[in-house]
Amino acid sequence: MLGGIEAGGTKFVLAVGPSPDRIAARHTIPTRDPATTLAEAADWFAGRGAVKALGIGSFGPVELDRQSQRWGFITNTPKPGWADCNIVGYFDQALGVPVGFDTDVNAAALAEYAGAGGTGGGLAYLTIGTGIGGGLVLDGKPVHGIAHPEMGHIYPRRHPQDTDFAGVCPHHGDCLEGLASGPAIMARWGASLSELPADHPGHVMIADYIAQACHMLFASVAVGKIVIGGGVANTPGLIETVARRCRSLDAGYLPGGARHAVIRPRLGGDAGIRGAMMLAQVAARA
Ligand code: ZN
């Protein structure tokens, strides 16, 4: 059996199963302080019988450099109590099995890539919710540089009707997350995107910002597919508007343009946990 943890800022999803596409049991716990949450998770796994490896897809920032002493840590997160949390070390000790580790969005990208048949020129997974994050898989592997990508913190061009909003990112103000995340939408209009009327200009504005991020990915790393998940992405019609806007931003130039796809997660809400189990599979083989 493989174990997986999708470690999110509001909940931890736990699962065991013989393979990533066959989940035998799953359990969700709220994210409280690390001591409580990690112990609760370890107890659940202990009650499921032996797993041969565990995979963790975690909220970040995290340390992914294998050469670092702090590999497997959640690092400078603003989430109270979780900064400098050695999440891999904890489960290494508690379960005594190999632990695979990556960001929650790289895990989700891995699962969506496999779910799409593992071909087609790479895949990016964007989540648009409380924050904006992105994972990237090229040639079947999650991409890290000296750290993991932070695609939510690029600076998009301002929408012409969005001139006086400062943005909500505590670090950058009007980066993509500062302009198009759930909290940015709430700060501008006092409602979520799905609560706004269908003809509200916010729909086009938010779609434009997300489309700029997609265009950046199509143009810079030439992925074929961009999967968009997260709470804001559930707004009816949003993904379709983003896809249209992407075509318009590209204006027929990019060589892969005919094969670009902007889609919802095929695995729905399961992409993260299945990706975590894929990380376990890799760790079991290593
Ligand atoms: Zn930012």
pLDDT band at 286 (very low <50, low <70, confident <90, very high): confident
Which has the closest alpha carbon to 109: 275, 224, 260, 240? 275
Using an 8 Å Cβ cutoff, are 42 and 99 in contact? no
Which has the closest alpha carbon to 133: 239, 252, 19, 229? 229
| Cis peptide bond prior to 61, omega within 30° of 0 | yes
pLDDT of residue 121: 81
More confident site: 184 or 286: 184
More confident site: 123 or 119: 123
Q: What is the distance in A from the centroid of ligand 1 to the CA of 155?
A: 8
Q: What is the distance in A from the centroid of ligand 1 to the CA of 126?
A: 15
As a whole number, mean pLDDT of residues 245-261 equals: 96
Q: Quick: pLDDT tens for 135-145.
A: 999 999 999 99
Cα distances (Å, whole numbers) of residue 145 to 65, 66, 125: 9, 12, 17
The residue type of 124 is A
Helix axes 182-189, 201-220, angle to 10 degrees: 150
Question: Which fold is adopted by the domain 2-106+269-285?
Answer: Nucleotidyltransferase; domain 5 (3.30.420)
Nearby residues of 114 by Cβ (< 8 Å), 6 or more positions away: 20, 278
Q: Is the pLDDT of residue 117 over 90?
A: no
pLDDT of residue 14: 98
Q: What is the distance in A from the centroid of ligand 1 to the CA of 52?
A: 38
Q: What is the distance in A from the centroid of ligand 1 to the CA of 120?
A: 30
**Percent of the chain topping pLDDT 70:** 99
pLDDT of residue 118: 76
Query: What are the structural domain ranges in the chain?
Result: 2-106+269-285, 117-265
Which has the closest alpha carbon to 99: 31, 150, 41? 41
Q: What is the distance in A from the centroid of ligand 1 to the CA of 21?
A: 34
As a whole number, mean pLDDT of residues 162-176 equals: 97
Sign of CA dihedral 259, 262, 154, 140: negative
pLDDT of residue 198: 95
Q: Quick: pLDDT tens for 24-79.
A: 999 999 999 999 999 999 999 999 988 999 999 999 899 999 999 999 999 999 89
Chain mean pLDDT for the chain? 96
How many beta carbons lie within 10 A of that of residue 55, not counting itself?
31
The CATH number fitting domain 117-265, selected from 3.30.420.40, 3.40.50.720, 3.10.20.70, 3.90.180.10? 3.30.420.40
